[in-house]
Chain A
Amino acid sequence: MIYLDSAATSYHKPKQVAEAVYEAMLHMGNSGRSGHEISLTSSRTIFGARKKLAALFGMDDPAQVAFTSNSTQSLNIAISGLFGKGDHVITTAMEHNSVLRPLYREETEGMELTVIPCDEKGTVRYDMLEEAVRPNTKGIVCTHASNLTGNVVDIRRIGRFCRERGILFVVDASQTAGVFPLDMEEMCIDVLCFTGHKSLLGPQGTGGLCVRKGLEIPSFCVGGSGVQSYSRTHPSQMPTRLEAGTLNGHGIAGLSASLDWIQETGLAAIRKREQQRMRRFYEGVCEIPQVKVYGDFTAAERAPIVALNIGENPSEEVCDALAVRYGIATRGGAHCAPLMHEQLGTVSQGAVRFSFCYFTTEEEVEKAIQAVKEIAEEWT
């Protein structure tokens, strides 16, 4: 199977990741629950992962990194904790449902929401930001890169825009963490939400949010913490404030190993190879007459995603043919980004998404191009 669905989850992971999970399952207890070595091993592993993530995201305090199960949970914690009735929040049409649905839920409770549209290439209309701001605008929530088109958002620009106006900036880094440089301080990011299983190459069920020091997000879930047991309220200190119950220590051990691999390999090297694979595939398919590619390929950098359709063929049928006839794993249909599909006019057809990773070979890319050519010729 040629795996070109990395935007959904990383399938090829450094072998150290699985090894670390296996070792953790053999040797790790429950973090923070006792002082014996089996518990401490877990505590140290988790703390080590916090330190690596803080370094990766330009934070000086590992305690500001709270672990969750995934980006969706992180975004729910941030959005429901920071915004509510009477607040106005701005987002974009590029967003995944993990941003949109928590915002829509707050909207039904009295929060005001503005969605900034995109142009025909799926790029956010930065020029519309200023006019969207209201006296009660409390935050902007946006993705770093579209999971559908791969277009990258200039978050440094939006971060500066927010900081100058005293607006909170929440970033969904699901498609970029581990590949693109992310510096919370420099990019004026207040909350960075990430998942561990995509470009961070860790296990599913890992993720988290990094919170700017001084910003207090209320506890989303309360309960076991390993500390302050007789208090009727959950501890207020980070990261325990946003973590309740036993953490996914085994998964976090795997994530810690993948962070080591990313550090050793280097973001620039990872990004360069992914960009090469993505660009080559784009060049190979964009000239096929029946193929329509979505997104802005004139941008200097973009997430390693190419979304396309072949004529009027339903995207899920193309996706199925790629899998069954060519052994190529892609994603078809809708991509949890309803507004992006509306903007691109692909609500009914969906799109076939090819997403690449560091481990994608040149040969695999050529085979995928050939497969698209053959389906396009046959299904016209």
Chain B
Amino acid sequence: MRPKELCFLVAFHTTTEALALEDAARAAGVSGRLIPIPTQITAGCGLAWRMPISEKESMLRLLLECRLRYEDVYELTI
């Protein structure tokens, strides 16, 4: 099995929301990347932003400051 790690994830309603977050994260220097959404979150397709759990606070600040739209946030071992 692939080794797993605790991650912080942001899920979105739409691809556009995901891309807006990617833009904002890149501009703010917050690490992470878009990944196919893990099935533990939803069985649907789509994208999620995955980042190390250590970056959780920076992301929560970014979501607020940039008034980014998203569906939910998760801490997940994947």
Report A218-253 CB contacts with B as 1/0, cut-off 8 Å: 000000011111110001011110000000000000
Q: Indicate if the CB atoms of A240 and B13 lie closer than 8 Å.
A: yes
Q: Indicate if the CB atoms of A63 and B15 lie closer than 8 Å.
A: no
Instruction: Tell me the complex Cα distance, A43–B12, Å.
Output: 14
From A33, which residue of chain B is reached at the shortest CB distance? B45
From A65, which residue of chain B is reached at the shortest CB distance? B16
Report A22-64 CB contacts with B as 1/0, cut-off 8 Å: 0000000001111100001001100100100000000000110
Report B15-49 CB contacts with A as 1/0, cut-off 8 Å: 11111101100000000011110000011111100
Q: Indicate if the CB atoms of B34 and A35 lie closer than 8 Å.
A: yes
Q: Indicate if the CB atoms of A63 and B36 lie closer than 8 Å.
A: no
B58 touches A (CB below 8 Å)? no
Q: Indicate if the CB atoms of A237 and B13 lie closer than 8 Å.
A: yes
Q: Indicate if the CB atoms of A229 and B45 lie closer than 8 Å.
A: yes
B14 touches A (CB below 8 Å)? yes
Knowing A34-B36, A40-B34, A62-B16, the reply to whether A227 touches B69 (Cβ < 8 A) is no
Instruction: Tell me the complex Cα distance, A369–B45, Å.
Output: 59
Q: Indicate if the CB atoms of A240 and B14 lie closer than 8 Å.
A: yes
A235 surroundings in chain B (CB, below 8 A)? 13-14
Instruction: Tell me the complex Cα distance, A238–B14, Å.
Output: 8
Knowing A35-B34, A227-B14, A239-B14, the reply to whether A62 touches B20 (Cβ < 8 A) is yes
**Min CB–CB distance A313 → chain B (angstroms):** 52
Instruction: Tell me the complex Cα distance, A239–B35, Å.
Output: 21
Q: Indicate if the CB atoms of A32 and B47 lie closer than 8 Å.
A: yes
Report B41-78 CB contacts with A as 1/0, cut-off 8 Å: 01111110000000000000000000001000000000
Knowing A227-B44, A227-B46, A229-B44, the reply to whether A239 touches B16 (Cβ < 8 A) is yes
**Min CB–CB distance A217 → chain B (angstroms):** 15
A40 surroundings in chain B (CB, below 8 A)? 34
From B45, which residue of chain A is reached at the shortest CB distance? A229
A230 surroundings in chain B (CB, below 8 A)? 42-44
**Min CB–CB distance B37 → chain A (angstroms):** 8
From A228, which residue of chain B is reached at the shortest CB distance? B44
Q: Indicate if the CB atoms of B15 and A227 lie closer than 8 Å.
A: yes
**Min CB–CB distance B9 → chain A (angstroms):** 12
Q: Indicate if the CB atoms of A35 and B36 lie closer than 8 Å.
A: yes
Instruction: Tell me the complex Cα distance, A227–B17, Å.
Output: 11
A35 surroundings in chain B (CB, below 8 A)? 33-36, 47
Instruction: Tell me the complex Cα distance, A239–B17, Å.
Output: 10
Closest 10 CB pairs of A and B: A32-B15, A229-B44, A47-B19, A35-B36, A227-B46, A237-B13, A240-B14, A35-B35, A63-B16, A237-B14
Q: A40-B34, A228-B13, A230-B43 are in contact. List 17 more A-B contacts (CB 8 A).
A: A32-B47, A35-B35, A43-B18, A47-B15, A47-B19, A50-B16, A63-B69, A225-B14, A226-B45, A229-B44, A229-B45, A229-B46, A230-B44, A231-B44, A237-B14, A237-B69, A240-B13
Chain B residues with a Cβ under 8 A of chain A? 12-20, 22-23, 33-36, 42-47, 69
30 sample A-B contacts, Cβ–Cβ < 8 Å, listed by A number: A32-B14, A32-B18, A33-B45, A34-B45, A35-B36, A43-B18, A43-B19, A43-B47, A44-B19, A47-B16, A47-B20, A47-B23, A62-B16, A62-B20, A63-B16, A227-B12, A227-B13, A227-B14, A227-B44, A227-B45, A228-B46, A229-B43, A230-B42, A230-B43, A235-B14, A237-B14, A237-B17, A237-B69, A239-B14, A240-B13
